Chains A and B, each alone.
Chain A
Amino acid sequence: MTSLATAGERVAPAPGSPRGRRAREVRLGLVRSVPLLPSLALLALFLLGPIVYAIYGSLTNRTLTGPNAANPSFVGFDNYARLFASSDFWTSVVLTVVFLVASAIIGQNVLGLLLAVLMKNGTPTLSRTIAALVVVAWVLPEIVAAFALYAFFASEGTLNLMLDAIGLTGPAWLIAFPMLAVILANVWRGTAFSMMVYSAALSEVPPEINEAAEIDGASAAQRFFRITLPMIRRSISTNLMLTTLQTLGVFTLIWVMTGGGPGFKSATLPILAYQQAFNFAQIGYGTAIAVITLLIGAIFAMVYIKVLKPEVD
């Protein structure tokens, strides 16, 4: 995609040049993009295809069982109209945004950056030990991590036993504070990824620039916010995008820990979509929720690309 675009740009800013040359450049651009065709075809087949099909599915009244499973009909935007009129849906949108902002954007990113900075300034042994500990959460398969966290937050789980030992009685976290529990769980699980991305980014910042700033009298905070952060902003953008989209798709963790409950109190959009499609058999309606989730992901991605402008230095 990018090389197609750059080929196009290269052609455009040549006003007044002979026509033949321009045509040749266009031809050359096309020829150069030929090797991209297989990947474009694969993307269209395996990525665009299902998305288009999902959008179509969300416009039907298909169900998992019953007459509408055999003969679904096209219902236009009925599913979306029902969705937008449903209070459960709007609750779910709010929960999804809260989950994204708290666990991915603030939790994983800030904590990951903080760990990376501390590790850079710590002794090598210490930083290696911390890195190993944090990465354990990342290495665990999602289902294992989910069960471990369930065991941690359950009312007779590790956390409450620890609180018990110091004379406190913990609440049933998964019932009383389901969102807090799944947010902490996702931070625990995902921070290692951000930490590794930021560790790599920080090691690329040339030390001379920092030293120069130090000589000019810049404080540590100033150096961090004025020099380090701007220099790693491409990594920040990439990492924000990756963690946001990954968190948007988190299903197993929440499903195992709370099942979206109690009621719909921790039902983020993927949970709601699954419940509607597979537990309540409303495939069309559930697919409409999935499409909305896709849109939210796309919006976040576009905002990151626009605001952080990773391609321009």
Chain B
Amino acid sequence: MRKTLTTLAAGAALALVLTACGGGNDSGSSGADGESTGSDAGSGSATIKVAYQKTDAFTQLDDLLQKCVGEFEAANDGVTVQLEPIAAQETEYFTKLALMHGSAATAPDVIYEDTFQVRSDAAAGYLAPMDDYLADWDGWDQFSDAAKQAGAGDDGSTYGVSMGTDTRGIYFNKQIFEQAGLPADWQPESWDDILDAARTIKEKVPDVIPFNLYSSKSQGEAASMQGFEMLLYGTGDELYDYDTQKWNVGAPGFVEALTFIQTAQQDGLLPGLEDALDTNLPNRISGELFPQGKVAIIVDGSWVPGGWMSDGSNSWPEWQEVAGMAKMPTSTGQEPGAVSMSGGWLFSIGSQSKNPELAFDLIAGCLSQENSLKYDTENSQIAVRDDVASDPVYLDYNPSFEFFSSLVPVTHFRPATPDYSQISSQIQVAAESVLTGQASPEAAAKAYDDAVTALVGADKTQNAG
């Protein structure tokens, strides 16, 4: 009894900690945070805490921070930067961040933040507006309007500085294609072309997984964006209507996209369920399964070659010869013929930071021309600073840049609303229920519609059917 009650109490206590997040905002940093600053009080020194993601497959940001933090500390006497890498996949990373914001003692000063979380976290009061600092920063003029917009909150203030953006497309293994008798310059014109190629591979090269499209909630946002949304936005339907500011329900494209997943699954073209439901699948696909020729066609992001070009565990020097790239087609080849999704990550300042100016200085230093160039090349980002995008070093660095930049005209952005991150979870639930055969595409779409209506209210949805 006692053990369970303690467990429950611990759960409840967690809820209590979470609840504290909201309440603490108005008072900002009170005396309760003595623990984190206790050591700073002595000589007028300050500590800047940086929360960011680091995994075995993603070390480029850690490299960047090691460099720019050294520069920052050398330039600011007495300031210590405390790096707090969070070794977690995306979903767990956001959970950890939200929990860190719960108390002033753990709240980070500088945050590595996904663009789709910015509005949500700004609305939650976790982030500090940066407008005043940006106005005095000459580097800000170098950022494209789209990049500036990526960090905007619902109130119009800017809550993040973009580190780079990305697009998504298809990678295919040319060696497997050759064995299957498929062309090395393959470019599918419709979803059926993808399915046909995958079926050919299944028949001719039976040991290989023909096709991967992330479709499980264990892969979090990857399943929403690299997976389902790459399909949905190619049907002509969208998640959200900017004109009416309402969420679409009952969209036929939603069912079409789920039906594509169902067909691919039923024809045995996707990884086995054990792999398909694996949290680590994104890392395994880009770092292991695709380079080793165990999967033939993948839908993934433009940053993937960054890992192949690094010296890290995902190093794959032969990638230029083996990996082909193709645009993701629209469902039946309708205009504009191809589709892509764009996101990207930002640096934000925590609302509970006691040294927001120093935090901003660190961000500005880490995203200077030189450091942005380092990060955008090494992590295979589409540069958002004009002086990086036009730099010959950047242009010559990675042969995949040209292809992925060419997707910018057909790319889409996720709905920029605070509700998106919660609705995204429901997309993953819908995709997984179809993938695992627990629901028909129609039933899964209906469950999604109901969940969205419950989340945002019936007055913020519209029937797109």
- Bound together, the chains give a CA A287 to CA B84 distance in angstroms of 29
Which of the segments B3-11, B54-62, B168-176, B205-213 contacts the partner chain? B3-11
Answer yes or no: B75 CB below 8 A from chain A CBs. no
Q: How far is the CB of A259 from chain B (nearest CB, A)?
A: 6
The answer to whether B8 touches A293, judged by C-beta atoms less than 8 angstroms apart, is yes
One of B119-127, B370-378, B401-409 contacting the partner: B119-127
Q: Give the shortest distance, in Å, between A28 (CB) and chain B (any CB).
A: 30
- Asked if B9 and A50 make an inter-chain contact with CB atoms under 8 angstroms apart, the answer reads yes
Chain A interface, DSSP helix/strand/loop, else mixed: helix
Give the number of chain B interface residues (Cβ < 8 Å): 50
Which of B19, B22, B272, B425 lies in contact with A280, CB distance below 8 A? Answer: B425
- Determine if A263 and B438 form an interchain contact, defined as CB atoms under 8 angstroms apart: yes
Instruction: Say yes or no: is B95 at the interface (Cβ < 8 Å to chain A).
Output: yes
Across the interface, which residues of B come within 8 angstroms of A144, CB to CB?
A: none
- Which residues of B lie under 8 Å from residue A175 when comparing CB positions? 272-274, 277
* Known A-B contacts A65-B98, A279-B425; A263 and B18 likewise in contact (beta carbons under 8 Å): no
Chain A: minimal CB distance from B246 (Å): 17
Contacts of B5 in A (CB 8 A): 47, 245
Does the CB pair A290–B3 fall under 8 Å? no
**How far apart are the CA atoms of A172 and B277 in the complex, in Å?**
12
* A249 x B16 contact (CB < 8 A): no
Q: A50-B16, A53-B12, A65-B121 are in contact. Are A249 and B7 (CB under 8 A)?
A: yes
Interface flag for B432 (CB, 8 Å):
yes
User: Quick check: is A70 within 8 A (CB to CB) of the other chain?
Assistant: yes
Q: B124–A66 contact, CB under 8 A?
A: yes
Question: Could you tell me which residues of chain B, from 272 to 308, have a CB within 8 Å of some CB in chain A?
Answer: 272-274, 277, 279
The smallest C-beta distance from B458 to any residue of chain A, in angstroms, reads: 14
| B120:A261 contact, CB within 8 angstroms | no
- Beyond A50-B16, A248-B4, A263-B438, 12 additional contacts (C-beta under 8 Å) are A46-B9, A53-B16, A54-B11, A57-B15, A172-B273, A242-B3, A245-B3, A259-B277, A261-B218, A263-B436, A281-B98, A283-B18
A-contact bits for B84-101, CB 8 A (1 contact / 0 none): 000000010011001000
Using A261-B277, A261-B432, A297-B4 as known contacts, say yes or no to A70 and B25 having CB atoms under 8 A apart.
yes
**Which residues in B have their C-beta under 8 angstroms from that of A69?**
21-22, 98, 123-126
Q: Mark B386-426, 1 if CB is under 8 A from A, else 0.
A: 00000000000000000000000000000000110110011
Q: How far is the CA of A67 from the CA of B455 in the complex (A)?
A: 12
Check if B217 sits within 8 Å of A279, measured CB to CB. yes
Could you say which of B3, B6, B19, B432 has the most chain A C-beta atoms within 10 Å of its C-beta?
B19
Give min CB distance, B433 to chain A, whole Å: 5
Chain B's closest residue to A173 (CB) is: B274
Are B19 and A57 in contact, CB atoms less than 8 angstroms apart? yes
A138 to B133, CA, bound (A): 56
Assembled-state Cα–Cα distance A18/B437 (Å): 76
Check B342 for interface membership: any CB of A closer than 8 A: no
Contacts of A154 in B (CB 8 A): 274
* Assembled-state Cα–Cα distance A285/B277 (Å): 24
| A265 close to chain B: CB less than 8 A | yes
Contact A67 B418 (CB under 8 A): yes
Residues of A within 8 A of B135 (CB): none
Q: Which residue of chain B has its CB nearest to the CB of A68?
A: B124
Which of A282-305 touch B at CB < 8 Å? 282-283, 287, 290, 293-294, 297, 301
Query: How far in angstroms is the closest Cβ of chain A from B273?
Result: 4
Closest-by-CB residue of B relative to A301 is B1
Q: Does B182 contact A (CB under 8 A)?
A: no
> Is A51 in contact with B8, judged by CB distance below 8 angstroms?
yes
A72 and B3: CB pair below 8 A? no
Contacts of B426 in A (CB 8 A): 280
Give complex CA distance A246, B277 in Å.
28
Asked if A262 CB lies within 8 Å of chain B CBs, one says: yes
Lowest 9 A-B CB distances belong to which pairs? Answer: A50-B12, A69-B124, A245-B4, A54-B12, A70-B125, A262-B436, A249-B7, A280-B425, A67-B123
Q: A245 to B91, alpha carbons, bound, how many Å?
A: 29
Residue of B nearest to A283 (CB): B18
Given contacts A242-B1, A263-B438, whether A51 and B9 have CB atoms under 8 Å apart is yes
**Contact partners of B25 in chain A: CB under 8 A:** 70
Q: Separation in Å of the A145 CB from the closest CB of chain B? A: 16
Among B4, B13, B126, B419, contact of A246 (Cβ-Cβ < 8 Å):
B4
Of all chain B residues, the one with the shortest Cβ separation from A52 is B12
**Inter-subunit contact A281/B19 (CB<8 Å):** no
B117: interface (CB < 8 Å): yes
- Knowing A69-B124, A172-B273, A281-B98 touch, does A261 contact B436 (C-beta < 8 A)? yes
| C-alpha spacing A251/B117, complex, angstroms | 27
Asked if B216 lies at the interface with its beta carbon under 8 angstroms from chain A, I say yes
* Cβ–Cβ contact A155 & B11, under 8 A: no
Chain B residues with CB under 8 Å of A189's CB are none
User: Which of A66, A82, A248 has the largest number of chain B CB atoms within 10 A?
Assistant: A66
